[in-house]
Amino acid sequence: MRQLIQLRINGQAYEEEAEPRMLLAFFLRETIGLTGTHVGCVVGECGACSILLDGRVVKSCLLFAVQANGKEITTVEGLAQDGELSPIQEAFVKHYALQCGYCTSGMLLASHALLTRNPDSSEEEIRRGLAGNLCMCTGYTQIVDAVKAVAGEYKKG
Amino acid sequence: MTETRYIGKRIRSKEGPRHVSGGGQFVDDVSLPGMLHAVVLRSSYAHARLGHIDTRAALEVPGVVAVLTSEEVKRRSRPFKPGRYSAGLRKPIPEYATAVDRVRYVGEPVAMVAARSRAVAEDALDLISVKYEPLPAVVDPWEAMEPAAPLLFDELDSNVAWKGAVSYGDVDEAFQSADQIVREKLKIHRYSSTPLESLACLASFDDASRKLTVWCNGQNPEVIYDALGEALDVQDVRVILPDIGGGFGQKIHLIRKYVVLTGLMSVKTGRPVKWIEDRTEHMMAAGQSCGMEFDIEAAVKKDGTVLGLKIQEVDDVGGAVSTLTIHFTNKLNNLFSTYKVKNLRLEGRSVVTNKCPVVPNRGIGKPSMCFIWERMMDRVAQELGMSPVEVRLQNLVPTREFPYTAPNGNLYDSGDYTRLLERAVEKLEYEKLRKELKQKREKGKCLGVGLVIGLEPGGRNAARDMAIFPNVKELPGAGGVEGATIKLERNGSVTVFLGAPSCGQFHETTTAQVVAENLGLSPDHISVAPRYDSEVSPWGVASSNTGNNFHLYDIGAVHGASLKLREKVLQLSAHLLESSPEKLTIEEGTVTIKGSSHKTLTFKELGKIAYGNQSLIPEGLEAGLQTTYYYKFPHAQPFMVPDEEGRVRAQFTFSAAAHGAVVEIDTETGRVKVVRYIIVSDNGTIINPDVVDGQIYGSVAHGISVALGEGFVYDSDGQLLTVTLTDYAKPTACETPRVEIEHIPVPSPFSVLGQKAAGEGAAIPSPAAIASAVEDALQPFGIKIRELPLSPEVVWGLIRQGER
C-alpha cells in the first residue's frame, strides 16, 4: 500500500514511504519531523500549513504526500540561511508581526511568495496576497507593516 | 515611573525568533515513544437518549488499541465538582468527560478511539454504532422557557437553570425621580475567537509510579489540575502547558473534558495518548460565547443625567451547566462602565438549550455590558435631542474622583475618561464630521459615525461570583495569588519561571524587560521559561492566562522576585567587596561600588561563588541566587469577598478607551465598510508598546468582525450550520480595517509599575462603536440597531424594512 516518495525539502533530498491517503502536511510534520508547518483546519481555509512547492505557495493540507513526489519543497525551517534569519523572518520579529506563532509559518511563506512575485505590492495587494492565511491574534496590522517594510529587500533581489 | 532603561522601550522580542523559525513547541509537536492517537466520537443529534454503544467492529480494525465509551467513562471516572459558575444550581447535575445517558448538543463527546495512527482511529470511528433515541431539540431560549418545551435536564423542573439578580443603589427611587424613562431591547449573538490551534492534549500515565503527565493547551492550569484530581483517581499529576496557539477564553473550561478523557485513555491503555481536535469539532463543541438578550430601561433627567438602569437578561447557555452564570457574573466587572451612575439592577436567567455550551471569549460578558451602556447613551441622546458626546460627558466618572469606588464595589484605580472622549472628538473632528456625513447622506451616500467609551478591567478576583451565591458553603478562592521564580545561574545569566502560561501575549519579552530594569542586566541575558509546568512553576489562583491577569499578577510577582534577587546580589557583593549594599550599584550585570570603578563583581563571578564556594558566602546569607515571590494585590480589600449587598471588587485595575468608527454602507448589498477607526486608550504604564498595540489591534479586529457578521448559526433542529471558518465568516486581512491608536496613559497608583490591563481591551467597546456608526449611517431609513451581528444580509434586510 505504501508508496515511495522522492523529493527535496529545504534543499535536502529525502526518500520516504507514505500511505497514499497521507496528507502532505502530516507527512512533513510526522514523517520528516518538520513541525514548523502547523495545521489549523485541514480543509485549506486557514493557511497555517502553507509551504512552497516548486516555488509556489500551496496549502499542504490540500495535497497528498504522494503528489509531492519529485518536487522541491520549502517549509518555514528552510527560510533561514546559514543560521541567519531571512529578511522576511527578521521583519516579522522586528514588527511584532505575530502573537501566538501558530499562523506565522504560513504567513511567512505566503509573504515571501508574494514579495518574490511582486516586490512593489501596495498595502491593498499585500492584504489580498495574504487573504489565504488567517490570523486570529494580531488583526493583521503588524503583519502588513512587516511585509511592507521588507519589500525593499526583495526589490534588490 | 522615573527614567527607565527597558520598561516602556521597544526591544527585540524573545518569542519572535523561535516562532519565525518554526521552532515553537505546541502540544501537537510533542511525541512520545509508543504514543497512540485518539479521536472522539461525537453526537450527531442535538438532543437524544444515549443507549448502548457497540464497539466490536471498531476494535477489529488493525491498529486500534482501545475504545472508551460513555458507559465506561461513567464507571471509571467521577463527575467534575460543580465550580463557581454552576454554584447556583438548585440540584446538582453531574457532568462527566463525555455525555452520559443523554446528549444535549451536536458534537457532544460520547466515545474515544485510540489507535496506532490518527487515520486508523478515524476509520474505526465510523464502525462504532450508537443507539440513539432522538428527542425534540430546543434551540431558541424563549421557546426553551415555554412550559411545554422539551426539558434538557431531568434534575431541573424547567430549562431556566438559574435565575437571580444583583442590585446596587436605590433603583426604584431613581426611576421615581426620573424625568423620562428610555426603553430598549438588545441582542447579541454567539461567536468565538476561534484560536488557530484547536484544543490539544497528550497524556502519559506511568502505571508503576501511578503518575499522570499531561501536556495540553489549557489557559488555566488550575482547571486542568483540579479536573484530573476530581475525575480520575490519580493524585500524582503533572500539567505542562507549552506554547499555546491562541486562547481568548476558548481554552479555559471545556478542555478539561478532553484532558480527562485522554488521561483516562492513557490509564486504560498504559500508553501515551495524543488527542488533537479538528476544526469542525472545535466549532461544534469547544465552546461558544453566550447568546444574550436584554430588556433595558434607563431613568434619565432632562439634562441627560442617567439616574439608573434596570436590565433583564436572558442567557442562552447551551446544553451544559458548568458555565451557567459565567456571562452574567462577568458583567460585574464593568457593570457601571465609565459612568458615575449610582443605581442599577440586573436580573438574569440562564436558559439551557440544545446548543454548544458557553465559554468565555475575549472580555466575556463585558462587551455586552458595554454594548448596553453605549446603545442606551445613544438612545438617551436621541430622545432628549442632545449630542451623543454631550450625554456621555454628562455621565462620565469625573477625573477628580479617582480612585473611584463604583456602587458595586469595584475600585477604579485611575483614569481620565473625559480626556479620552474629548481627544477622540478632536481626532475625528467630530462636529465637523457629523455635518459632512449628514450632507453626504442627503446626497444619497450612506455614511455614519459612532463614538463610544468603555472600560477594560484587569486582574481577576476569584470570589466575584459569590455575589450571586451568598449562601455557598465553600469559597472557591478569593483575590489573586501568583508567583515568579528568578535564578541567577552559575554562568551569570538569569532564568525566570512564571506561574502562568502564555497564549501569545509576549510574556517572556515583557517579563525580561521588568527583570532587566530591576536587576541591571540586558534582556539579552535573561531567559524566561516558555512553558508552564506545574512541577516548577510557582503558581496560585491567579496563574491563569485569563481575566487580563498577566499585567497585574505576573508582573507583580516578577517585580517582587527580581527586587528580592537584587537584594541578595547586593548582600553577597557587599560582603565580597567589603562594602555595604547601599553603596553598590548594578549595571550591565556588573556590581560596582558607587563612585569607584576598580572594585567590581560580575554576575558570572557571583553565580560561581553563590553555588560553588561556601567559604565566600557570609554567615546568615542563604546560598545560591534564587528567589521566589508570590504577589497578592495589596488593595483587594474591602470587598475582596462580596458583602451582604453583593458589593465585590470584581477586578482590580481599570483601563479605558474611547473608540470612534466611521462606516460606509453599500445599500445594494448591505455590506458595511469601516472607513476609519480610531482608539484613544489608557492602559496605564506601558511596559512594551509593540505588545500593547498588538493586543489592541487584535482585540479590535475581533470586536469589529463580531459586529459585522462572524458568528455561529444553528438550524431549528440544533444542527450547527457554521462548522468551518468560511461558513463562520472569519475575516481575512482584506476585511480587517487598519486602526489608529493613540495612548493617553494614566498610571495606576496601585500596581507595581502603574501598569493596567491590555488584552481583552478593544474587543469590549468595538461592537458598540460599530452599532452606533451603522445606526447613524442608516438614519435616512429610520432604522435602530438593536441586534448584532450586522452582517450584509441583516443590514440589507434592515434597509428594505426601513424603505417599506
Specify whether the CB–CB gap between B725 and A46 falls below 8 A.
yes
Of the residues B589, B612, B632, the one at which a domain ends = B632
What distances in angstroms separate CA B239 from CA A55, B296, B310, one per listed residue?
41, 44, 44
> In sequence order, what are the residues at sequence separation of 6 or more whose Cβ sits closer than 8 angstroms to the Cβ of residue B337?
B369, B370, B373, B374, B453, B454, B455
Question: Do the Cβ atoms of B196 and A132 come within 8 Å?
Answer: no
Indicate if B643 and B621 belong to the same structural domain.
no
β-pairing verdict for B306-318 and B343-352: parallel
The pLDDT tens digits of the residues spanning B364-393 come to 999 999 999 999 999 999 999 999 999 999
Q: What is the DSSP string of B172-223?
A: HHHHHT-SEEEEEEEEE-------SS--EEEEEEETTTTEEEEEE--S-HHH
Residues 111-140 of B with CB under 8 A from A: 119
Q: Which domain holds residue B784?
A: 291-463+639-803
* Residue in chain B lying closest to A78 (CA): B21
| Greatest Cα pair distance in chain A | 49
The grid coordinates of residue B457 equal 478591567
Residues 19-58 of A with CB under 8 A from B: 19, 21-22, 29, 34-43, 45-46, 48
Torsion angle defined by CA atoms of residues B22, B26, B32 and B35, in that order, rounded to the nearest 10 degrees: -120
The beta-carbon neighbor of A85 closest among B20, B246, B700 is B20
C-beta of residue B521 within 8 angstroms of C-beta of residue B515: yes
B665 and B757: one domain?
yes
Please say if the pLDDT value at position A45 is more than 60. yes
Q: Torsion angle, CA of B185/B190/B196/B200, rounded to 10 degrees?
A: 140
Grid coordinates representing B527 are 531567559
- CA distance from start to end of chain A: 44
Test A127 with B734 for CB contact under 8 angstroms: yes
The type of residue at B549 is N
Return the C-alpha cell found at A39: 495545521
Write out the residue limits of the CATH 1.10.150.120 domain(s) in chain A: 87-156
Measured over the CA atoms of residue B102, residue B103, residue B108 and residue B109, the dihedral's sign is: positive
In the β-sheet with B447-460, what is the strand arrangement from edge to edge?
B447-460, B651-666, B671-682, B740-743
CATH number at residue B123: 3.90.1170.50
Q: Are residues B370 and B300 in the same domain?
A: yes
Q: How far is CA A18 from CA B51, B458, B607, in A?
A: 39, 50, 51
From chain B, pick out residues whose CB is under 8 angstroms from the CB of A42. 278-279
- Residue B470 preceded by cis peptide, ω within 30: no
How far out from the chain centre does Cα B236 lie?
29
Q: What single letter denotes the amino acid at residue B453? A: I
Q: How many CA atoms lie within 13 A of B516 on its CB side?
A: 23
For testing contact with chain B, the best of A28, A96, A114, A125 (most B CBs within 10 A): A96
Please state, in angstroms and rounded to a whole number, the distance separating the CA atoms of residues B323 and B560: 34
Regarding whether B445 and B516 lie in a shared domain, the answer is no
**What is the amino acid identity at position B643?**
D
Residue B476 pLDDT: 72
Whole-number Å distance between alpha carbons of B210 and B267:
9
Helices B507-519/B555-576 angle, 10° precision: 30
Q: Are residues B450 and B576 in the same domain?
A: no
Q: Could you please report the per-residue DSSP string of B424-443?
A: HHHHHTHHHHHHHHHHHHHT
Strands (E) located in B60-137: 64-69, 102-103, 109-115, 129-134
d(CA B572, CA B606): 8
Question: How far does B533 lie from chain A, in Å, by closest CA?
Answer: 18
The residues, any chain, with a CB within 8 Å of residue B74's CB and separated by 6 or more, are B96, B100
Closest partner residue to A93 among B16, B725, B732, by Cβ?
A: B16
Q: Which residues pair with B527 in a beta bridge?
A: B495
With respect to residue B608, please indicate whether it lies within any of the assigned structural domains: yes
DSSP B496-563: EEESS--SSS-HHHHHHHHHHHHHT--GGGEEE-SSEETTTS---TT-SS-TT-IIIIIHHHHHHHHH
> How far is the C-alpha of B413 from the C-alpha of B746, rounded, in Å?
9
- If one counts every other C-beta atom within 10 angstroms of the C-beta of residue B724, the result is 15
Q: Check CB contact of B694 with chain A, cutoff 8 Å.
A: yes
Per-residue confidence (pLDDT) for residue B804, from 0 to 100: 61
- Whether residue B469 is contained in a domain is answered as no
What is the structure's pLDDT at B84? Answer: 83
Among partner residues A46, A77, A142, which is closest to B697 by beta-carbon distance? A142
Looking up cell 532564568, which residue turns up?
B495
**Same domain, yes or no, for B625 and B643?**
no
Residue A148 sits at the chain B interface (C-beta within 8 Å): no
- My answer on whether B301 and B408 are in the same domain is yes
Selecting from A48, A89, A108 the residue whose C-beta is nearest the C-beta of B196 gives A48
Residue B623 sits in the same domain as residue B649: no
**How many Å apart are CA B324 and CA B89, to the nearest integer?**
9
Q: Identify the domain boundary among B632, B652, B677.
A: B632
B694/A127 CB distance under 8 A:
no
pLDDT at A88 over 90: yes
pLDDT score of A90 more than 90: yes
Which CATH architecture does the domain made up of A3-75 adopt? Roll (3.10)
Measured between CB atoms, does A149 come within 8 Å of chain B?
no
Instruction: Output the furthest CA–CA distance in chain B (Å, rounded).
Output: 92
Contact call for A101 and B15, based on CB within 8 A: yes
CATH number (3.90.1150.10, 3.20.20.80, 1.10.150.120, 1.10.645.10) of A87-156 reads: 1.10.150.120
Which segments within B637-719 are labelled E, that is strand?
651-666, 671-682
Asked if B21's CB is within 8 angstroms of A96's CB, the reply is: no
Same domain, B654 and B692: yes
What integer pLDDT is reported at residue B682 of this predicted model? 98
Contact A136 B694 (CB under 8 A): no
Q: Are strands B447-460 and B651-666 parallel, antiparallel or unpaired?
A: antiparallel
Set of chain A residues whose Cβ sits within 8 Å of the Cβ of B701: 138-141
B145 part of a folded domain = no
**3 state DSSP class of B49:** strand
- Is B20 at the interface with chain A, CB within 8 A? yes
Distance (Å, rounded) from C-alpha B175 to C-alpha B307? 7
B chain contacts of residue A93, beta-carbon cutoff 8 Å: 12-13, 16-17, 20
Domain boundary residue, one of B249, B276, B303: B276
**What's the pLDDT score for residue B765?**
98
* Grid cell in block for residue B536: 516548577
Q: Which residue pairs, CB below 8 angstroms and at least 24 apart, start in A116-122? A: A116/A55, A116/A154, A119/A151, A119/A152, A119/A154, A119/A155, A120/A151, A120/A155, A121/A147, A121/A148, A121/A151
Q: How many Cβ atoms sit within 10 Å of the Cβ of residue B426?
A: 10
Residue of B nearest to A139 (CA): B698
C-alpha distance from B761 to closest chain A C-alpha (Å): 13
Beta-carbon separation of B22 and A134 below 8 A: no
Asked if A100 lies within 8 A of B726 by C-beta distance, the reply is no
User: Nearest by CB to A93, which of B12, B29, B193?
Assistant: B12
CA distance A70 to chain B (A): 24
Inform me whether the C-beta atom of residue B504 falls under 8 Å from chain A C-beta atoms. Answer: yes
Residue B4 lies in a domain: no
Give the Cα separation of B804 and B798 in Å (integer).
10
Compare CB distances from A139 to B243, B278, B698 and report the shortest one's residue. B698
For residue A127, list chain B residues with Cβ-Cβ distance below 8 A. Answer: 732-734
| B542 assigned to some structural domain | yes
Which CATH number is B503's domain given? 3.30.365.10
DSSP 8-state secondary structure symbol assigned to residue A67: G
For B674-719, the pLDDT digits (tens) are: 999 999 999 999 999 999 999 999 999 999 999 999 999 999 999 9
Task: Name residues of chain B where pLDDT drops below 70.
Answer: 1, 473-474, 804
Nearest CA in chain A to B705: A139
What is the chain B residue with the closest CA to A22? Answer: B119
Tell me: do B338 and B270 sit in the same domain.
Answer: no
Q: Are A41 and B724 within 8 A, CB to CB?
A: yes
Other beta carbons less than 10 A from residue B376's beta carbon: 24
CA distance, residue B150 to nearest chain A CA (Å): 35
Same domain, B556 and B674: no
Q: Which of B554, B533, B502, B498 is nearest to B246 (CA)?
A: B502
Strand A12-18 to A50-53 pairing:
unpaired
Tally of domains within chain B:
3
Which chain A residues in 52-111 lie under 8 Å from chain B, judged by CB atoms? 75-77, 79-80, 85, 89, 92-96, 98-105, 108
Is the CB of A98 less than 8 angstroms away from the CB of B19? yes
CB-CB contact of B13 with A85 (8 Å): no
Q: How far is CA B123 from the centre of its chain?
A: 36
CA–CA distance, B332 with B164 (Å, rounded to integer): 13
Neighbours of A43 (CB within 10 A): 16
Contacts of A105 in chain B (CB under 8 A): 22
Nearest to B77 by CA among B39, B112, B105, B30: B112
A interface test, pick of B25, B196, B503 with most A CB neighbours within 10 Å: B196
Q: Quick check: pTM over 0.90? A: yes
Residues of chain A with CATH 3.10.20.30: 3-75
What are the beta bridge partners of residue B663? B448, B674
Q: What value does the mean pLDDT of chain B take? A: 96
Rounded to a whole number of angstroms, the distance from the CA of B246 to the nearest CA of chain A is: 5
Point out the residue among B19, B733, B739 whose CB comes nearest to the CB of A101: B19
A59 CA: distance to closest CA in chain B (Å): 15
Query: How many of the other CB atoms lie within 10 Å of CB of B226?
Result: 16
Checking ipTM against 0.95, whether it exceeds it is yes
Taking alpha carbons only, the member of B381, B383, B544 closest to residue B452 is: B381
CB atoms within 10 A of CB B362: 25
Instruction: Enumerate the residues of chain B whose CB falls inside 8 A of the CB of residue A147.
Output: none
Same domain? B625 vs B751 = no
Rounded Cα gap, residues A53 and B733, in angstroms = 23
**How far, in Å, CA of B422 to CA of B429, rounded?**
10
Pairwise CA distance, residues B176 & B153, whole Å: 41
In sequence order, what are the residues at sequence separation of 6 or more whose Cβ sits closer than 8 angstroms to the Cβ of residue B558? B484, B486, B496, B498, B511, B514, B515
Q: Which of B412, B530, B561, B503 is nearest to B759 (CA)?
A: B503
